[in-house]
Each structure stands twice: as C-alpha cells, then as structure tokens.
C-alpha cells in the first residue's frame, strides 16, 4: 500500500470547506526571519511577494490582514525553555529591527500586528480574539518557517475552530526537506495546502465585507 493509500484509508486528506469570511495571518515575516544578514533568516522574497498579493486581495474586499512577530523582553531570555533549545531566537528583542515586519510584505498601518512568545501565532497573543471578533470562518496562513511557526499556527487554528488554507508558495523555510514534509503533513491532517493563484481565485468570488 502506498503512502497516499495509507493516509486515505485512515480518512486523512479531506478537503477543507471554504467559507465566506476569510482572514490571513502572516507568520513572522519579520526582518529576523527574512533578512539574510541575520542567521535566523531564510530567503523569503518570493513567498513575501505572493503573500502580498493575497493581502491586497483581502483588503480590497474588507477582510482582515493580520501579522505576527516574535519579540522578547530582555528579562524573559534566561527564563524560557524554548530559547535554550532554539537559542537563535534570543536575538528577537523588543524594539529591535529583527522583530519589525518586513516592508516587502506590503504591510499597512491598518493591519493588526500580534506579538507572540512561542511558535504558534495564537500562543500568548490576541489573535484568536481578533479573528472571532471579526467573524472569520476561514484562515489563510503564510509566513516562516513552514516547519516551525507556520505549522504550529496551522494546528492551533484548526483546533480553534477555523478552516485553514496554506499556500505552499507563501511559506518559507531554511531547508527544503522539512518544508516539504510539513506541507505534506499539514495537508493530510489540518489544512488544505494549495497555492496563491487558487486562493486569489477564491477570494474573487466573495462578496465584499459590509
């Protein structure tokens, strides 16, 4: 039995319903993850360009565009176990350039930015409240890194009651193998892994938000 047959026999890989009130959470496209002068970064130029197209389409219809960033107070650095395992994250200090959203994403002043302390954009942030308050039923997740914070956000999103879409060409990682493995797993269990073109076509079918 092939891998695909094994997953299908177990009931995985079903299609995610697409609602009528989408939003996007752009995960950690901050300079610490996008500017290659920093060791925590990866080349995300193509993925940011695709994300920008989705954000522009959502804004044009009045749907929420939200960004997340990881930012630590200096007093937190020696107290958080994750920073012992992933020590490079300790450079992401509040008020530094590393935690600012990369301008290449096309971020606008009206876009919400949530600050997180862990991998998921939901953990320790106001993201769930923002999405619920806006009546969102379908969440698009892009950003960095696919195998880390994007995946963690996707898992928390579906567990929080949202239908989840992940454009593979809007997610960046430091290595191809974890990128592809995590996209495959998310597509089987948590989200529809699709692409920017398909998401844009779907957005075009939606009535503008009143």
pLDDT digits over 129-165, tens only? 999 999 999 999 999 999 999 999 999 999 999 999 9
Distance CA 38, CA 205 (A): 40
pLDDT per residue as tens digits for the range 66-96: 999 999 999 999 999 999 999 999 999 999 9
Domain at 189, CATH number? 3.40.50.850
Pairing of strands 65-70, 112-116: parallel
Confidence of residue 12 (pLDDT cuts 50, 70, 90): confident
Task: State the catalytic residue, choosing from 144, 149, 155, 158.
Answer: 149
Residue at 5 is within a domain: no
Active site (annotated) includes residue 171: no
Give the span between the Cα atoms of 3 and 56, in whole angstroms. 37
Closest by CA position to 20, among listed 204, 147, 194: 204
Q: Which domain holds residue 75?
A: 21-205
Domain total in the chain: 1
pLDDT digits (tens, 9 = 90+) for 183-202: 999 999 999 999 999 999 99
Helices (H), 63-112: 82-85
Q: How much is the average pLDDT of 103-132?
A: 97
Give every CB contact of residue 71 below 8 A, 6+ residues apart in sequence: 92, 93, 94, 95, 99, 115
Q: Does the pLDDT of residue 11 top 80, yes or no?
A: no
Tell me whether residue 49 is in a domain: yes
Query: Is 0.75 surpassed by the pTM of this model?
Result: yes
Tell me the CB-side half-sphere exposure of residue 9, using CA atoms within 13 A: 6
């Amino acid at each position: 039995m092939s891998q695909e047959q094994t997953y299908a026999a177990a009931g995985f890989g079903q299609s995610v319903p697409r609602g009528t009130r989408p939003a996007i959470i752009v995960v950690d496209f901050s300079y610490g993850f996008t500017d290659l002068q920093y060791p925590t970064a990866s080349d995300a130029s193509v993925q940011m360009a695709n994300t920008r197209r989705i954000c522009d389409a959502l804004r044009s219809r009045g749907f929420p565009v939200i960004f997340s960033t990881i930012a630590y107070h200096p007093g937190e650095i020696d107290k958080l176990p994750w920073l012992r395992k992933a020590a490079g994250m300790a450079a992401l200090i509040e008020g530094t350039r590393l935690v600012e959203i990369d301008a290449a994403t096309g971020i606008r002043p009206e876009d919400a930015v949530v600050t997180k302390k862990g991998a998921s954009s939901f953990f320790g942030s106001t993201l769930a409240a923002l999405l619920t308050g806006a009546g969102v039923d379908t969440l698009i997740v892009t950003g960095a890194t696919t195998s880390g914070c994007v995946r963690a956000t996707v898992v928390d999103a579906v567990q929080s009651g949202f239908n989840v879409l992940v454009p593979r060409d809007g997610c960046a990682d430091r290595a191809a193998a974890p990128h592809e493995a995590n996209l495959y797993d998310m597509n089987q269990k948590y989200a529809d892994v699709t692409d920017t073109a398909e998401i844009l076509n779907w957005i075009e079918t939606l009535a503008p938000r009143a």
